[in-house]
Chains A and B, each alone.
Chain A
């Protein structure tokens, strides 16, 4: 090659440009982008899942991009052919939306070493479930002397003006409504009884939180003493010294499968698969089960121990007995109508 002034200049400029805009070089090989949830999930994944993934792949480049499920869907939808995310994490409602909008790949089940070890509820061909969230009753043990045992306890007269719920924007709020409907003879397709029950609860409500995170603030402020709540969210509060306890009501805890998906058209499919495998592996799940994360494992090879065994379930058989999984395909059909109705009817 002839070294002319022009080629030299060109090389220098290109190198300079690549240095100034590292994004240019990512066009060919950008790091794996994993959209996790914000808060405790992000912390847990940063501490356990990311190191495990780095070890399994010989230190492959990856980025955690924490955001809500619905925002993940919006982002991928906006650039379907060149998605900015490789691995998505979804609650059951958004997961079905993502699948319906053709945003995710089927999981290569036959290649997976761990898929067959997952509990049956976690085996989802479009994206397996590395953990699930458990919703029960949370209460302040300083003001609520006898621990509640049933969802029906929220209606007790002594809790007048002390009960908190979230609106239906969240999975938590919607799941609770479905459970209410079931308690009063309804179902995923018949929500009327839930709205009737909520009408009766209205004098008791101290607040309708705009999101589950706000429930935590409400407990801290002493604004509410009892509410439906997420097991993992309570652990953070407890660790901060807020008096709050979690019980599984006798009707069973509501469990939300959280599924993990390979995004369609991702340029990093192989790495995405490896990340998900790491998330399903017994090693990672066993580590996430411990303090301070206390995440329920879905891999049956992990023996449930410690705090989880004490408050939730001692093994996977008990999980199947105590946890209620809801039919989100049915829920999604009518969710917008419910939200609309909640907007209109539940004004405190």
Chain B
């Protein structure tokens, strides 16, 4: 009888088989095909080689597009963190009913499509938009400012669109912090600022890192917001890939750009992961 007893500490791998099969069919296989395609030297098919990669990596313009896309992500992430942290902080410090309200306000944008939210920004930033109309009305400017089709416009719109991705992990991290710690800190003579810098901020680091990771990944791949607010003259990686694949039907080059973009994002993600591991050590110390 004892011999047939199941060892409950090991899991039956067969249970994971359907998910694994799904991953292989819908994720791994397309990725392998993409990779194979990127090594084709010619859109018409034919020989394999590194031509597409050489074309991209040897071209300062293409590298510039990659660089500006990654840099755009940094700016958007920094802005969302700057604006999102106080919101999460407020949520943590509010009474129950206000907590619900803040949560609703954070979640509400998620219930609207990105396209709608982006179009709202087109209306807000336009020449006759809310910002320009009020500035003109107050007599602060004579001619409408150019806000739409600028990089700062893209950063603002993306920051708002991706805000929930930053605030939600922050709220989770902040609510895990024992409120007694802050009290203990002030009892020991630390002011609010010092308590925040020495206790709250380090303890919320996992939330900050998770939020930054999500916002960053979403911001650099946000095709719709980038092209609607940025217009046709600002080129970021998603539009570059679309242009090569769809308009020019140059699939091998599009595939190579995608692979390079994927690798670049993976590098950034692993940097975040390393930071996350360091922060865990820091918070436990």
Interface positions of A (Cβ within 8 A of B): 68, 70-71, 73-74, 97, 161, 166-167, 169, 173, 206-211, 214, 217, 221-223, 335-336, 339, 343-344, 346-348
Contacts and interface: CB of A to CB of B under 8 A. Distances in A.
A336 B127 contact: no
Interface of B: 61, 122-123, 126-129, 146, 148-149, 227-228, 230-235, 239-240, 243, 246-250
Contacts of A344: 61
Contacts, number: 72
Given A221-B123, A336-B250, A209 B232 contact: yes
Contacts of B243: 169, 339, 343
A208 B232 CA distance: 5
B228 A210 contact: yes
B54 to A, nearest CB: 16
Nearest to B126: A221
Contact of B246 (A74, A223, A336, A343): A74
Main secondary structure of the interface of B (DSSP, over half): loop
A315 B249 CA distance: 38
Contacts of B149: 206-208, 348
Given A169-B232, A344-B61, A223 B227 contact: no
A217 B122 contact: yes
B263 to A, nearest CB: 22
Nearest to A162: B127
Contacts of A74: 246, 249
3 nearest A-B pairs in the assembled complex, by CB-CB distance: A167-B232, A208-B233, A208-B232
B45 to A, nearest CB: 11
Given A208-B149, A210-B239, 18 more contacts: A68-B246, A70-B247, A70-B249, A73-B249, A166-B232, A167-B232, A169-B243, A173-B232, A206-B127, A206-B149, A207-B148, A207-B231, A207-B233, A223-B127, A223-B148, A339-B243, A343-B240, A348-B231
Contacts of B61: 343-344
A346 B228 CA distance: 17
Contacts of B230: 210
A258 B44 CA distance: 25
A209 B232 CA distance: 5
